[in-house]
Structure 1
Amino acid sequence: MTSPAAARGHEVRQRLLAAAAELVPERGWAAVSTRVLAERAGVTPSVVHYHFPSLPALLNEAAVGLLRQVLTEVEANLDTARTSAQVVEVMIASADGYTGTDSMSRLAVEAYLAAGRDEQLREQIAGVVDEFRHRLARRLGEHGVGAPDETAAVLLAAVDGLVLHRGLGAGPDAGPVAPVLRRLIS
């Protein structure tokens, strides 16, 4: 049984992570301050540092947690794929919910940019992406796709690229791209 104090602490921590997940896409990674974050979460700035060793640690945890959550949902959908073509369909469908300008897309872009300057964040994101890519490769291999590791890397990069290009207003819809990606794995 969890004590009331521990439950309150967990709830405050979750509010701080949620506030970070809202603020990064709204303002950009570098524009999120402890004061702004605390205000959004409805706590005092000292509470931020009580629950997290630093503001970057909080932002990193929020971003990596959400990226992991998104990829876990995609992986759960991959369980329904019975052919390699269906794997591609699942991957494309997973990208359909992201316009490139939605908050999750912006959070991912901001996190990738911040990871270029923060080695710990880079390692954390790389770990999440590597784990997913390995699981995707295993699925492709189960469906007889040659060079499953390399194919998974290209497929994942292509889907990420579609979302990134959508954010610039230059990305094609996934529908016309699907046949190209299906040819990649056949």
Structure 2
Amino acid sequence: MSSPAARRGLEVRRRLLAAAVELVPERGWAGVSTRVLAERAGVTPSVVHYHYPTLRALLTEAVVGHVRQALGEVEAFLATASTPEDAVDALIASVERYTGSDPTSLLLTESYLAATRDEELRERLGGAVVEFRLRFGAWLGERGVPDPERTAAVLIAAVDGLLLHRGLGAAPDSAAVLRRLVDRGGRA
């Protein structure tokens, strides 16, 4: 069993990560300061740097953790699918709650933009997406979808794009088009 100090340390880290996930959508990646983050988490700024070497490292851990959690939720939706067409429907259903202007959509948009300028963030976010794509591609391959890994990559990118377009109020209903990507013989 861990000591009380270790448990308190884990709780502080959890609060710091949660504060980061709240603040990035509210203020933008560059608008999150150590002081603001510490205030939101209910700690002093020195505590932030006790637990993380830099603010950027904390933000990166928070975002990548949140993305991994979101991808885990998508995989839970996919677990209910029996056909590739059902998987596309599940993939689309898993993101229906996102409007493009909700906190998670804004967090992803801000993070993707920040990743264009931050190599570590880009590698870690990209790693999470690649891991998901490989699992999804293997699932598609087991069900006879041609070129399953690249099909998974296109489907995931299309859903990401649809989420970005929602923020602009321009996301069309694309389920039928996406189903055709996994069509194994005219069933879409």
- Consecutive unaligned residues in structure 1, runs of 5 or more: none
Structure 2 counterpart of 1:126:
126
Indicate the residue corresponding to 1:40 in structure 2: 40
Residue 71 of structure 1: aligned partner: 71
Name 1:169's counterpart in structure 2: 169
Cα distance in 1, alignment partners of residues 79 and 45 from structure 2? 43
TM-superposed CA distance for 1:46, in Å, is: 0.2
Alpha-carbon distance in structure 1 between the residues aligned to 2:53 and 2:156: 33
Tell me, in whole angstroms, the C-alpha distance in 2 between the residues paired with 1:79 and 1:44.
Answer: 43
* 1:69, distance to aligned residue in structure 2 (A): 0.3
Instruction: Name 2:182's counterpart in structure 1.
Output: 185
Whether 2:157 is the aligned partner of 1:160: answer: no
Q: CA deviation at 1:171?
A: 1.3
CA distance in 2, matches of 1:102, 1:13: 24
TM-score (norm 2): 0.95
Report the alpha carbon displacement of residue 105 of structure 1 after superposing the two structures with TM.
0.7
* Paired AA for residue 54 in structure 1: T
Counterparts of 1:7 and 1:95, CA distance in 2: 34
Higher helix share: 1
- How far apart, in 2, do the equivalents of 1:122 and 1:159 lie? 19
Q: Which residue of 2 aligns with 1:106?
A: 106
Query: Can you list the C-alpha shifts for 1:5-55, whole angstroms capped at 9, x where unaligned?
Result: 111110011000000000000000000000000000110000000010100
Letter in 1 for 2:27: R
Letter in 2 for 1:171: A
Query: In 2, distance between residues paired with 1:140 and 1:105?
Result: 26
Letter in 2 for 1:86: D
Match of 1:4 in 2: 4
State the aligned residue count: 183
Moved over 2 A (4+): none
Q: What amino acid sits opposite 2:178 in the alignment?
A: L
| Aligned equivalent of 2:13 | 13
Q: 1:114: Cα distance to partner? A: 0.7
5+ unaligned residues in a row in structure 2: which ranges?
184-188
- 2:186 is aligned to none
Cα shift at 1:76: 2.0
Measure, in 1, the Cα distance between the counterparts of 2:73 and 2:169.
Answer: 26
Identity fraction in percent: 67
